[in-house]
Amino acid sequence: MTAKFDPEKFEDKYANYFTELQQAYKQAFDVMKDRFDNELVHAIDQQILNESEPYYEGDGQFRIDLPEEPADRIQGVVVADEKVEQVLEHYVEELKRQHRRVFGLDD
């Protein structure tokens, strides 16, 4: 299912595209938990990405703004900051890919 994407409507994304955004985040989560440590992926999802903000950049591209010092937000999982940053980078790329897919903007 892809929504008819309107960049202007994305300015008020939570009113206009809430279901599609949820779908993109869930699909990214499912892909990531199959590729990386489930506990770390869950921590990133709940402790970093819950404070993230997606933006449409134009030309079919999305940006995901993260909170300050994202690795410092991880609690309850013993893991090096470098590992958090590596998995988070993959997660953000997957999330942007899922946004493009959900909105029918993938190549």
Q: How far apart are CA 39 and CA 74, in angstroms?
A: 11
Span 12-70, pLDDT tens digits? 999 999 999 999 999 999 999 999 999 999 999 999 999 999 999 999 999 999 999 99
Domain ranges of the chain: 14-102
Q: How far apart are CA 57 and CA 83, in angstroms?
A: 28
Half-sphere exposure of 71 (CA within 13 A, CB side): 11
Give bridge partners of residue 61 from the DSSP assignment.
58
Q: What is the pTM of this model?
A: 0.90
Contacts of 81 (CB under 8 A, 6+ apart): 71, 72
Q: Cβ distance 32 to 41 under 8 Å?
A: yes
Give the pLDDT of residue 107.
62
Confidence tier at 3 by pLDDT (50, 70, 90): low
